[in-house]
Amino acid sequence: MRFDERGTVVRRTYAEEALTDTGALVVSARLLPYRRFAQAAFILLILLMPVLNILRYDSASRELILFGQVWSLGLKQGFYADHTVSGAGYIAVHFFLRAILPWVLVLSVFPLLGFLTGRLFCGWLCPEGALFEWADYLTLKLLGRRSLFRRKANDPGEMKGNPVFYGTLAVLSIVLIPLCGGIALTGYFVAPETIWNQLIHGSFTPGVRAGIIGVSIYMLTGSVFVRHTFCKFVCAAGLMQTLFGWVSPVSLRLRMGFERIGECTDCRACEKACFMNVLPRKNKRDISCVNCGACIDACNKELGGRGLFHYSAGEYSRGAPAEKCGRPAVKTLYGG
């Protein structure tokens, strides 16, 4: 506690509260509403990008549209007829600047994100991750477990809801989400107005039909059967973030403050909140952790806002390893 010269308590600023001496980011606000807002905003962006001509490839004109402009190599007419050294240099420079460099920049986004923020993108922005979480939620409400196939040790307790309500919601989701996703994402390759015209007249070209059906089937099978297994083992963007986040000395990671391990009530709310099946109390790097903060929220709730988890940049844990704490609090985790 700090006092001013008159002896009055000086409240610490939010930044002072949030950053501990070790630079760890302590979060006492509930993260879930912010995460849901970020996911919704990113889904909206993905759906609207072709409509607003922010990014799409027009397969009819074979042009890439970027921020309303046609993205071309910028080569002047008749460039191929110029066989001089300066002509070749001109082509090489344009090719590098307008084709290779943009691709390198695009491809470096996920490694860079991983290096700085670990798998934060997966937990906070990825539309597929949000879809899988929605599928988990509906399965929990209908079957009382996250997976369609079997109950897992970290499934939250009884969460079943009204079967008629959640059954209807599930059927609507199974039909409408893949269909709307298929229509919207096909807009990345076929002009959205063309798709709308075909929808209104109920007559589709083979390309549009294939796009809508293909994306719909992909979304349906992914969200019903595969879910987070895809995030862990298949998604290239996720794997790049994992790899660079793993080796990075500065990337954002989830950390448990072992100096307060005695306050743990062994409620396992942190484990039950984790849809990636991580055991956050192990305090070890886990390639599956998407930095979603659900365990932070769960522990904050259990311990009245002073939970044991926080974000940390870089060094994972300076505290004692859980298995060496010998506290009853980690009994469940280590079978003691």
Residue 255 tokens read as 């950390």
First CA to last CA distance, the chain = 38
Nearest approach in angstroms of CB 21 to ligand SF4 is 21
Rounded to 5 degrees, φ, ψ at 64 are: -95, 125
Nearest approach in angstroms of CB 290 to ligand SF4 is 5
Q: Which of 72, 205, 265, 306 binds ligand SF4 (CB under 6 A)?
A: 265
Q: Which of 58, 63, 82, 266 binds ligand SF4 (CB under 6 A)?
A: 266
Site string for ligand SF4, 276-305 (x = CB under 6 A): x-x-xx-------xxxxxxx--xx--xx--
Helix, strand or coil, per DSSP, at residue 64: strand
Alpha helices in 202-304 (DSSP H): 206-221, 228-233, 236-247, 269-273, 294-302
Please compute Rg for the chain using Cα positions: 25
Nearer to ligand SF4, 79 or 246 (CB): 246
Q: Does 130 bind ligand SF4 (CB under 6 A)?
A: no
Nearer to ligand SF4, 123 or 222 (CB): 123
Q: DSSP letter at 315?
A: -
Distance in angstroms (rounded) separating the CA atoms of residues 285 and 288 = 9
Helix, strand or coil, per DSSP, at residue 17: helix
Nearer to ligand SF4, 215 or 295 (CB): 295
Nearest approach in angstroms of CB 188 to ligand SF4 is 29
Distance in angstroms (rounded) separating the CA atoms of residues 26 and 47 = 34
Nearest approach in angstroms of CB 306 to ligand SF4 is 10
Nearer to ligand SF4, 219 or 292 (CB): 292
Which residues are at the interface with ligand SF4 (CB under 6 A)? 123, 254, 264-270, 273-274, 276, 278, 280-281, 289-295, 298-299, 302-303, 307-308
